[in-house]
Structure 1
């Protein structure tokens, strides 16, 4: 059982109701006193406050209480099976259907002295070396600083980071040609109102990686008692070579260990990095409570159970990936496809530049693909941005040269980019 579960707290519930309940009053059933519900229209069906916008809840069953459902069904989304534990025997005629949905992943942090200790004991030797290398190369090439906004943040900084978060997330998923539910205006507006007071109350934090004054990676964490919960994370895809996501995880685990959190919950979704970093796998479940003396409630509960079971079967076949790609394409019918073609660097002597190239300012570059090319050069050659010079060819269109402290290369940007 999660103590002081954020997703059933008064602040989360009040803001969620304001955005998603459409004016409906919350209802509490004495048999499940820790949860609040709102009614679906036209059906004897109630869903828990928070719905699918939580990252895992748990609850208790009150002994000796009459079920009081009276022909109704209660739908509880995203029950966290690891923290929920076993349930007491239900008193008739109350019955429960448990429907397994998304996989979840978490790291048990107890017993580890530092993030390097954790990496030593949970990652392969090769992965540990590579992840530390990414961080060293990033900090060598750029003026990197890491900032945690926890307990204090100005409204101006908050709005700036929130807007940057949106732009980076949109940029990433446009590149993947997929939709992302978090970018839906209703959900994004909900998060915008919710997160600021939660940061001030130490129930949330922004973890930001800066390149000088520019945020290049942002992660949002929520906190429930001794659990840190990974809500959203994004990085600037121009810096993809440096694997910012890995460095972000290292810094967050380091901070969580220093703050003595017992668990780092990567939450729902089966991704390679979660399998690599997590120490435990669990399941999110949907729980259906219903009045078994009611034919209508029994029929409705069975129908909902079948629907979600079938939906999970299709998700296991990865059809949701194709669905997100299709919806992105339908919403962006006039958008240009992002080319995956990468320019090839050709190492040359700096003396060949001569009068054939003219110097250009890096700060004046507007083309995202050109900025990414410069960053790739830094990664491949372990150069520093502060040492970099960029030149444009006077004779060949889309041809450029990069000169670092130790390396010089020429390259051509494909015309279709």
Structure 2
């Protein structure tokens, strides 16, 4: 009977990340714009008749057209994984879109967070698309990897994508220069605090990799960068902002389309082996998907009881507020040395300082951080009118 070859392709990864089309197709039809992309490397070989070919993760707004030879193949279509995307057709501005998708309370909160971020730090927004210096690219990619790793460490999960990112890094620079990829970055001064790597195809922006500095979590960087993505897409006539798969809450907040990604299995109906193998693979997928649904449900229940993805031990210092108008506070006259929260020794202070800034809307230039030299493990964070005393305790679980 021989060994049956099974070819597997992730359509989304092929098209956006690897910039090619699975060779069983000769054309990709954009159902929204009517554009056709003819693959220069498609393969109409009769070899397709002797193998089973699976194409996963096909977004509903793209229609891949197989070779005419493959009319002799039968196609089985499965619904397995949900995809999330924003369709910007008919919207003139980010405000216009937000009004259609969000309630007034949600919009107000997002605008407030953005204003606080911009009032507390020297914030700038940069898109690298078509041009970028090689050293800038190298630094941003490295920073993006570090931000992702810190987030994984925070939720106590293993970061096992380093190998894939390393392979992508080799190609990303040329893709940006060719306008097939872009870096969308939020800077605090010269420091990147939110980095997104996106891929481009026709009028589609594929949000492939997102990262942010967890110390700025209070400001909602993830929602702010999506706001900027939508704004950029509308300014540059992009109709789709695709967030692919993954059941994260922010996707429900932003996406106006949630639809199953196509999973197509091509096989030769005249082959007895194909007719036996394909149903077995379908049953396997059904079982795997059932287990995955149960796993997600279990994780959600665990999250509600505060047991899922338990963070690693973190600093739980005692914090006391002080009024700087009250000059009689004894701690203000204690000997001290000023410290830099961006150095490794005092890195743990960063989220406390940023949360203080968020609460009081003080700019970084108005913040002073002191370590009191006569009082062990005691620090002062001083703004324009308010301050806090930080008493560092032992690390708690």
* Residues in 2 aligned to 1:208 and 1:92: alpha-carbon distance in whole angstroms: 46
Q: Residue 358 of structure 1: CA displacement? A: 1.1
Cα drift, residue 53 of structure 1? 6.1
In the TM superposition, residue 309 of structure 1 has moved relative to its aligned partner by: 2.1
CA contact (8 A) 2:46 2:69 kept: no
Q: CA RMSD of the aligned region, Å?
A: 3.2
Query: With structure 1 as the length reference, what TM-score do the two structures score?
Result: 0.77
User: CA, structure 1 residues 249+344, in 2 after alignment: closer, same or farther (shift >3 Å)?
Assistant: farther
Deviation track 1:295-339 (CA, whole Å, cap 9, x = no partner) reads 2222222222222222222221235997xxxxxxxxxxxxx9623
Distance in 2 of aligned mates of 1:174 and 1:54: 31
Which one is further off, 210-219 or 349-358? Answer: 349-358
Displacement of 1:241 in angstroms is 0.8
Asked whether the equivalents of residues 83 and 246 of structure 2 are also in contact (C-alpha less than 8 Å), the reply is yes
TM-score under structure 2 length normalisation: 0.81
Q: How does 1:265-304 map to 2 (within 5 A)?
A: 265-304=242-281
Match of 1:311 in 2: 288
Residue 224 of structure 1 and its aligned partner are, at CA, apart by: 1.0
Asked if 1:123 is matched to 2:102, the reply is yes
Q: Of 192, 195, 207, which aligns to 1:218? A: 195
Question: What CA deviation, in whole Å up to 9, does each residue of 1:27-64 have, x standing for no partner?
Answer: xxxxxxxxxxxxxx9542122376866669x999xxxx
Of 224, 235, 238, 2:215 maps to: 238
- 8 Å CA contact retained: 1:238, 1:368: no
Aligned counterpart in structure 1 of residue 8 of structure 2, from 47, 64, 67: 47
1:368 is displaced (CA, Å) by 2.7
Deviation at 1:271, TM superposition (A): 1.0
Range that drifts further, 297-306 or 248-257: 297-306
Query: What's the counterpart of residue 321 of structure 2?
Result: 347
Bigger proportion of residues as strand? 2
Equivalent position SS for 1:283: strand
Cα distance in 1 for residues equivalent to 2:9 and 2:342? 51
Q: CA separation in 1, counterparts of 2:14 and 2:158? A: 17
Structure 2 counterpart of 1:7: none
> Which blocks of at least 5 consecutive residues in structure 1 are unaligned?
1-40, 323-335
1:358 aligns with 2:336: yes
C-alpha distance in structure 2 between counterparts of 1:341 and 1:306, whole Å: 48
Q: Are the counterparts in 2 of residues 393 and 399 from structure 1 also a CA contact under 8 Å?
A: yes
Tell me the equivalent position of 2:307.
none
Range that drifts further, 158-167 or 289-298: 289-298
What is the count of residue pairs matched by the alignment?
358
Indicate yes or no: 2:374 matched with 1:403: no
1:170 aligns with 2:149: yes
Q: In 2, are the aligned partners of 1:82 and 1:283 still within 8 Å (CA)?
A: no
The residue matched to 1:73 in structure 2 has which SS? strand
Q: What's the secondary structure of 1:301's corresponding residue?
A: helix
Any idea what SS the aligned residue of 1:317 has?
helix
1:247 is the counterpart of 2:224: yes
Aligned-partner Cα distance in 2 for 1:147–1:92: 47
Give distance in 2, aligned partners of 1:163 and 1:184. Answer: 13
Change in CA separation of 1:344 and 1:196 when aligned onto 2, cut-off 3 Å: same
Q: Residue 313 of structure 2: SS of its match in structure 1?
A: coil
- 2:182 pairs with 195, 205, 224, which one? 205
**Residues 277 and 396 of structure 1: CA distance in aligned 2, closer, same or farther (over 3 Å):** same
Task: Give SS of 2:62's match.
Answer: helix
Structure 1: distance between partners of 2:10 and 2:292: 25
* Corresponding position: 1:338 with 2:338: no
Whether the 8 Å CA contact 1:401–1:411 is kept in 2: the answer is yes
Is the Cα–Cα contact under 8 Å of residues 55 and 78 in structure 1 kept in the other structure? no
The offset of 1:394, in angstroms, is 3.8
Shift >6 Å, 4+ stretches: 85-92
